[in-house]
Structure 1
Amino acid sequence: MQRVVSLFLPSWSIDRHRRKAGDAAPPVEAPLVLIGRDGRREVVLAADAAAQAAGVRVGMPATKARVLTPGLIVHPHDARGDAEALDRLALWILRRYAPIAAADPPDGIVIDSTGADHLHGGEAAMLTGLVDRLAASGVRTRAAVADTWGAAHAIARYVDKPTIVAPTGHGAAILGRLPLAALRLPAEMLEALHVLGFERVTDLLAQPRAPLTLRFGPQLGRRLDQAAGKLSEPIEPIRPEELIQVKRNFAEPISAAETIARYIGKLVVQLCAELEAKGLGAKRLDLICHRVDNHRQAVRVGTALPVRDAKRLTRLLCDKIETIEPGFGIEVLSLTATLAEPLTEKQTLTAMVDDGVPDVSDLVDTLINRVGEHSLYRAQPVATEVPERSVCRIPPMAPETGATWTSRWPRPSRLLTPPEPIETMALLPDHPPVSFTWRGIRRRVRRADGPERIRGEWWLRDAETTAVRDYFRIEDDSGERFWVYRSGDGEDPNTGSQRWFIHGIFG
């Protein structure tokens, strides 16, 4: 079933203006408005939260806004700049999240996330990640995912929650309590409906369709059917000129898996020729199937390194054919390299030469496209003494940096996250525990080594300026070895709580 994400950017013009101004942007508490012309008048086209709190509203004459709010900061509204920035944002989402994404002017993005959400941890995690990333960039966002563009658009704008995941198969009933404006109807039609006493979508759903169509035309019924999923509303994905794309039109629609695979191979050969002409390799490919019923289905594959091998890319795409539902047939296939990077030619090694480094990138590509790029990673050493910060995740094919762990003391093969508290008997300040109780089991300590003192990283957090930990390697009566520490130096309460924790287990 199709799933569509709608991103609503309620203060897009203001947020973009502040981002563009950078350090010169006015403080958040200062009232800011953007003005433009409505005929011969200057009116407010966008207002930030401080201006709205002072009584300024969109559509208000600029002169009235200035009188109403002393110290009001006024700048011209740049509608063209907003539209261009919205397209750039849609392109960023296209390259990172899903193969079908487009701007939804003037303040939104629409994404067909069908089959792509699992690569980002599911729908809820994908929406949260999107909202958080945009918030970190200074763009306030609300996001909703539903079965249709109309439903997702309405929920994102008229349900005041950061993220909303609508249940599959919801139909038009999910919009029942929303205002009529959620249906994206013209202002004059909304006004006429209000005059007749219609306030919410449920009021229209309870009425026979014929009289409404006779009075208001087909648009009202079309919007209701699009929101309910009875009528398709295709999303035309953004395709800038710099994207490398090849396309194949069919006189007769195709539907057999073998036929689809054959034409995928032909498209990949064409795409690789385009990539070679520009000295690029593909890192992400999007195959979009345009069906005869006006639906689009998308398949996305990615690679860990730039690739221009036609056989390899064809195999990755053909592995996804089982996810394609051709319906009554596919009339157009388009293949786009949504992410491409420079690819340097390497000298082909003969069978008599072996550089000793196995090429596992093909295996990595297969796994990434099955489980998602965030589920596959390598461990990278980090230059720090704090154990839980001494390792980070990096992409599986990231180049070696030469970083190593430099501690002279042994480290356990397994760290507990977070460290678990234990009850101990120990002499302060420098003696190891005589016994300890962990997870309800009391253990006597037979051997111990330590302490190894690790100090906090004061340059990261003020709270770590005086913090210390004293670590001990201990062995119990059964021969099991543990890594435990005391929070603090055993004397000064400012250095820690003086409680004991188990942080790791030696294999």
Structure 2
Amino acid sequence: MTRVVSLFLPNWSTDRLRRKAGDAAPPAEAPLVLIGREGNRRIVTAADAAAHAAGLRVGMPVAKAQVLVPGLTIQDAEPVEDAEVLDRLALWILQRFAPVVASDAPDGIVVDSTGTDHLHGGEVVMLEALVGRLAMSGVTARAAIADSWGAAHALARYAALPSIIAPPGHGASVLAPLPLEALRMPASMSADLRVLGFERIGDLLAQPRAPLTLRFGPELGRRIDQALGALAEPIEPVRSPDLVEVRRSFPEPIGAAETIARYIGKLVTQLCHELEERGLGARRLDLICHRVDNHQQALRVGMAVPVRDVKRLTRLLCDKIETIDPGFGIEVMTLAAAVAEPLAQKQTVNSLIEETTHDISDLIDTLANRVGERAIYRAAPVSSDVPERSVGRIPAMAPDTGATWPGHWPRPSRLLPRPEPIDTVALLPDHPPVSFTWRGIRRRVKRADGPERVFGEWWKRDAELVAVRDYFRIEDDAGERYWVYRAGDGEDAATGSQRWFLHGVFG
């Protein structure tokens, strides 16, 4: 089933201008508007959140806006640059999230996420990552996922706070309560419909189609069908000028899995030839199948390192053939290297004393494309004395950073996701527990070593200015070894709660 993401950027023009200005940008609490001309009138063409809160609206005369908000920050609108940067943002999303992405001017982006959300941990995680990355960059965004472009567009602008995911096969139920303007119809048409008493999309869906078409023309019915998914609305993906892409058209539509696999192999061979001429290797491949019914089927595979091996790339793509629904047939197939990086030629040397290195990148690619890139990672040291902050996740094939964990105090092989409270019998302030109860089982301590004092990182949070932990390695009478700590120094209540926690288990 088709799934489409609509990304709505309500303050795109002003957010882009603030990012462009950098440190010279006006403060976020200062109302900012952009102005342009409508005939001989100077009007507001964009307003940020602070300006909207002050009562300013798009289309308002500039003179009136200045009267309502003294000291209003005014700058000229740059619609051409807005559109160019929006296309660049769409390219960024194309490289990181899905193979079919297009700008939805003037303030949105549309993404066909069919079959790609599992690579990011599911639709919820994907949407959170997308909106979160934009928020970190200073761009306000609202997003929605639905079964059609029209439905996702409507939900993103009239229901998302800041995101909403419509269930697959939702039909008209999610659209019925939305206002008429959510159908992307001309303003004059929605005004005429309101005169007739229509307020919501549900009011239109309850009426016979023929009288509406007779009165308002085919545009109204077309928008309704697009929102309901009854009428195809293909997304023309944005393309970079230096994108490596190959394409094949078929005189007769194809649909058999064996035929699709054969032509995938031919496209990969052609693409690898293009990559070799440019000295590149593919990190992400996008296969887009254009069906005769104007629908698109897309799939994406990712590689941990740049790859230009025909057999390997063909196998990764063919492993996903079952996700392609050819419908009544595929008439065009496009294969593109969405992300390509330099790849130098390797010289093969035969030597009796040559050290062999095992390349596991092929295995990593196979696993990552089945369970998602986020599920395949390595643990790497992070410069921090706080145990739960001293380890981070890096890509499975990322180069070794050279960092190591401190070796003067052993660390447990298993660190719990979060410290678990335990009940202890202990002498204060510097003695380890004599016994402790964890998960309902009482254990007597036979040996102990410590304390190792860990101080809070005051530069991260003020609450950690005086916080300390005293860690002990303990062994119970059954030979099991644990890593426990007391929150606080055992004397001053400001240093911690003085409660005991179990943080890890030694193998």
TM-score, normalisation: structure 2: 0.98
Structure-1 separation of matches of 2:370 and 2:388: 29
1:27-426 pair list within 5 angstroms:
27-350=27-350, 352=352, 354-426=354-426
Structure-2 separation of matches of 1:323 and 1:160: 29
**Sequence identity percentage:** 72
Alignment CA distance shift 1:101-1:209 (3 Å): same
Instruction: Report if the CA contact (8 A) 1:253-1:331 is conserved.
Output: yes
Could you give the per-residue CA deviations for residues 76-100 of structure 1, whole angstroms, max 9, x where no partner exists? Answer: 0110111111111111111111111
Structure-1 separation of matches of 2:376 and 2:67: 58
Aligned to 2:13: 13
1:466 positional shift: 2.0
Equivalent position SS for 1:57: coil
1:257 positional shift: 1.2
Instruction: Report if the CA contact (8 A) 2:144-2:160 is conserved.
Output: no
Q: Which runs of 5+ in 2 are unaligned?
A: none
1:461 positional shift: 2.7
Alignment CA distance shift 1:383-1:160 (3 Å): closer
Aligned to 1:444: 444
Instruction: Report if the CA contact (8 A) 2:7-2:142 is conserved.
Output: yes
1:353 positional shift: 5.9
How many positions carry a matched residue from both structures?
A: 507
Structure-2 separation of matches of 1:161 and 1:462: 31
Structure-2 separation of matches of 1:353 and 1:237: 51
Structure-1 separation of matches of 2:217 and 2:223: 11
Structure-2 separation of matches of 1:93 and 1:179: 29
Higher deviation after alignment, 121-130 or 141-150: 121-130
- Letter of the 2:7 partner, please give it: L
Instruction: Report if the CA contact (8 A) 2:42-2:61 is conserved.
Output: yes
1:379 positional shift: 1.1
1:208 positional shift: 1.2
Structure-2 separation of matches of 1:158 and 1:479: 61
Could you give the per-residue CA deviations for residues 257-287 of structure 1, whole angstroms, max 9, x where no partner exists? Answer: 1111111111111111111111111100000
CA RMSD of aligned residues (A): 1.3
Equivalent position SS for 1:71: coil
- Letter of the 1:415 partner, please give it: L
Instruction: Report if the CA contact (8 A) 1:172-1:224 is conserved.
Output: no
- Letter of the 1:88 partner, please give it: R
- Letter of the 1:389 partner, please give it: R
1:347 positional shift: 1.2
Could you give the per-residue CA deviations for residues 309-360 of structure 1, whole angstroms, max 9, x where no partner exists? Answer: 1111111111111111111111000000000011112212337564232111
Equivalent position SS for 1:322: helix
Structure-2 separation of matches of 1:481 and 1:160: 50
1:460 positional shift: 2.9
- Letter of the 2:15 partner, please give it: D
Higher deviation after alignment, 421-430 or 369-378: 421-430
